[in-house]
Amino acid sequence: MTGDSVFDDAFARHQSGDIDAAEAAYRRIIAQDPQHFGALHYLGVALMQTGRAEEGIGFLDQALALNSADADALYNRGSGLMALGRWQEALVSFDAALVIRPVYANARFNRAAVLAAMGDLDGALEGYAGLLAAKPENPDVLIRMADLLNNRGLILTDTGRPLDALADFERALSLDPRHGPAMLNKGGALFALGRFEEALAGADILIAAHDPSQPPAPYLAEAFNNRANALKSLLRFDEALEAYGLALDVRPDYAEAHYNRADTLKQLHRLDEAVAGYDEAIRLKPDFAEAYWNKALGLLLAGDWERGWPLYEWRWRATGDFGPSRDLPLWLGQQPVAGRTILVVAEQGLGDTIQFCRYAAVLAALGARVWLEAPLSLHPLLQGLQGVDRLIAPGAPLDAADLQCPIMSLPVALGVAIDAIPKPEGYLAADPARLDAWRARLGPARRPRVGLVWSGNPKHGGDAQRSIPLGDLAPHLPSGIDYVSLQADIRPACRSALQAHGGILDLSGEIGDFADTAALCSLMDLVISVDTSVAHLAGALGRPTWILLPYTPDWRWMLGRTDSPWYGSARLYRQDPERRWDPVLVEVAHQLSALAG
């Protein structure tokens, strides 16, 4: 055979799949002609096909040294580099191939794949889109684009951009309508946007697409879990439990479904079952921080503080936080504090700080110097708080302190029994100057005065359950009482109801901070509040306070009680199992009528 015919025979063997024979032939050719471009090139390809990418790239480099303008050799070299995860070098090879042959579809496809592997999802999508424009029905490109859009959507979801994520999931589904992950993740984005009915409908479509005569599809358990999550958010708890059960029938070791089911049981006050569900989720996933934390909340809600408070320390990992950022040793009661300076660090909501700042006096009684780091908006209120030597702004420079303790870890450090709660009547007090100013603003009292708070922070996760539209509350307010709005911020719909009622004094434009609110609370005969920071403030001031609670309240109010171990002056009004406000408001109206005389 001539030299060309020997190479042609080797190449034919290669094309037919007899790679070992082709490799041997290429090596014989190179032994006789070390500069045979074709043999060097395709020996490199054969070696990469048999898992020897590093060696194969070496022969491709030799071939390209002879002819650097061969687009196929550059493409094959890039493919070998991809196999080795050498993304940047692969990108250079594909770019060089495309300079020589701009319409080289395989090089463009692999180049987009490299960009995706490097995390440049936008660049990868642009590359695939160009290929799709040339061949709109290319199935490989459609699948890759759908996958990338789904992945980018997940990143957008994780970075708090659910609307942008939803657009990517919908675009992925326009390319591949049966893309299970995109359908699931679209439901997650709808859920994050509060579009629960749409999330439910999407889960139902995904479930209906499964043929029950076939083995469960990989996405089926997640689809049932998504369906249950939507039902839970729509307060359809019994249906949610059924859907979680179906998810667990498909995948009994699905820790997240056990966790979500436990949360639903908690909403139904089946607390022992809820705790058992959290335990099963933890057994399946031992580092499941959210399950530990929510188990703590369930135990606290049940009044089992001895077990609940220690688990509450999981809140840091569950929220992605790692506790106070000061470079000080953490104190949880493991050593005496007499003669030492301890920085107590406020956390979570303003109401939490108001509720737990009472423990400063306990620390001071143990001989500690107490510095309290709290939001500046609370500083005027907390001036003079018993036990606090110094108020600190968040992040402000510190002199030397010895220890630090998050404010909501103080019960763990100082004693978790319900009867160990420090409960001085009125551990906060209004500023006398503010009292005088607001007394003058309100004028002489001629009838009982009742302060009203009907809504909290709209960004709170449970706001829809705890807030009451003023339009629902106002018709239950009997005459014979002077009503004062203690709301610093009033939502547009509530402002319309406020104007329509006409009998509630609106001070929202005049309340500057919590010290103003404290003075106003102190001038009321009664404060009626939903579960928000003003409820804590009124209780901490020792003022008569009626707190209106959803059926499943925050853990601190526990279940079934009309009183609170936190505030001796508080009375609790609770929704019934139907989660209706109307019976609560009817009872409040009855009690107010007695107050009005």
**pLDDT tens-place string over residues 396-419:** 988 889 999 999 999 999 987 888
pTM exceeds 0.85: no
- In this predicted structure, what is the pLDDT of residue 323? 66
Residue 1's pLDDT band (cuts 50, 70, 90):
very low
Q: Is pLDDT above 80 for 567? A: yes
Q: Is pLDDT at 40 greater than 70 in this prediction? A: yes
Residue type, 330: L
Q: Where in the chain is the domain with CATH 3.40.50.2000?
A: 432-596
pLDDT band at 322 (very low <50, low <70, confident <90, very high): low
CATH 1.25.40.10 domain range(s) in the chain: 3-143
Determine which of 115-129, 202-216, 312-326, 464-478 has the lowest per-residue pLDDT on average.
312-326
- Arithmetic mean of pLDDT, 247-272: 97
3-143 maps to which CATH number? 1.25.40.10
The token pair that represents 268 in the structure block? 């139904």
Q: pLDDT class for 271, splitting at 50, 70, 90?
A: very high
Q: Is pLDDT above 70 for 2?
A: no
Q: Which fold would CATH assign to domain 432-596?
A: Rossmann fold (3.40.50)
Query: According to the model, what pLDDT value does residue 259 have?
Result: 98
CATH of 341-420, one of 3.40.30, 3.30.420, 1.10.3470, 3.40.50: 3.40.50
The stretches of 101-233 forming alpha helices (DSSP H) are 105-117, 121-134, 139-158, 162-175, 180-192, 196-208, 220-233
64-77 per-position pLDDT tens digit = 999 999 999 999 99
Query: 256-260, 319-323, 511-515: which range is least confident on average?
Result: 319-323
- Tell whether the model's pLDDT for residue 224 goes beyond 50: yes
Mean per-residue pLDDT over the chain, rounded = 92
Q: What is the mean pLDDT of residues 316-343?
A: 87
Q: For residue 516, how many other CB atoms are within 10 A of its CB?
A: 21
pLDDT for res 3: 55
Q: Residue 506: in which H helix or E strand, if any? A: strand 504-506
> How many percent of the chain have pLDDT more than 90?
73
The pLDDT, as a whole number, for residue 104 is 87
How large is the C-alpha radius of gyration of the chain? 34
Indicate if the pLDDT at residue 519 is higher than 90: yes
Which pLDDT belongs to residue 441? 96
Question: Shortest CA distance to 82 belongs to which of 121, 123, 110, 52?
Answer: 110
Q: Tell me the pLDDT tens digit for each residue of 273-305.
A: 999 999 999 999 999 999 999 999 999 999 999
Residue 178 has pLDDT above 50, yes or no: yes
Q: How far apart are CA 448 and CA 521, in angstroms?
A: 13
